[in-house]
Amino acid sequence: MQWLRVKYAKRGRARFTSHRDFGRAFERALRRASVPMAYTSGFSPHPRISYPNASPTGAASEAEYLEIGLAAPCDPGRVRDALDAALPPGLDVVEVAVARPGALAEQLTGSRWRVDLKGLSAATLQSARDAFLALDSVLVQRMTKNGMREFDARAAVVAVDVEEGRLIMILAHQVPLVRPDDVLAGLQVASPKFAPIDPPVLTRLAQGRLDLGSGLITEPGH
């Protein structure tokens, strides 16, 4: 069995696609592209697809990853072209490569995010950022499938850079996973004047192995 690593993007309106909806669309694309999938054994076989660390619904991304198991070897470039043509607009296959040994999830230890905050000046963002980073911990709450959960949003933040109307965040992947919207909630805790009017637009720019010392993120397989 051959395993391929797929890097894909969620762009435009496709960012509102849920993880479950993406899974359905991707399996349809595999059939349309005639990719020779390997299947699990048992009463109800499923295609061998691994989805580690998907972005939240509503977030765009340039760096989502999954792995697929094939029943026969295929050229990664041809699989990329066929899948990209078969997926709906906005769900774009960026790269397909032969997967290297080891679990993909272990290679995804951090992400870099762009958070667009319309109407907020760089001075307002800088003040909230400085107040947030000055704290040792910032507790926030988020509703999960297991109910309301409280966790430390500060612990996962490696760096936050400020631009006009925008934040660039580097987040370490921890348990529980801290998302950019959790950090925004933490900014409001640290700085009550931080009050975005319009919904933020979240975009994952990179994902991979995070060097905590430098903040650099190396894509899996590189």
pLDDT band at 92 (very low <50, low <70, confident <90, very high): very high
Give residue-wise pLDDT tens across range 41-86: 888 889 999 998 889 899 999 999 999 999 999 999 999 999 999 9
Q: 50: domain CATH number?
A: 3.30.70.580
pLDDT band at 192 (very low <50, low <70, confident <90, very high): confident
How many domains is the chain partitioned into structurally?
Answer: 2
Find the domain containing 49 and state its range.
Answer: 2-106
Q: Are residues 123 and 209 in the same domain?
A: yes
Q: Of the candidates 76, 106, 136, which is a domain's last residue?
A: 106
Q: Are residues 119 and 24 in the same domain?
A: no
Q: Are residues 13 and 99 in the same domain?
A: yes
pTM, two decimals, is 0.92
Instruction: Show contacts of 24-30: CB within 8 Å, 24+ apart.
Output: 25/87, 25/88, 25/91, 26/66, 26/87, 26/91, 28/86, 29/83, 29/86, 29/87, 30/68, 30/83, 30/86
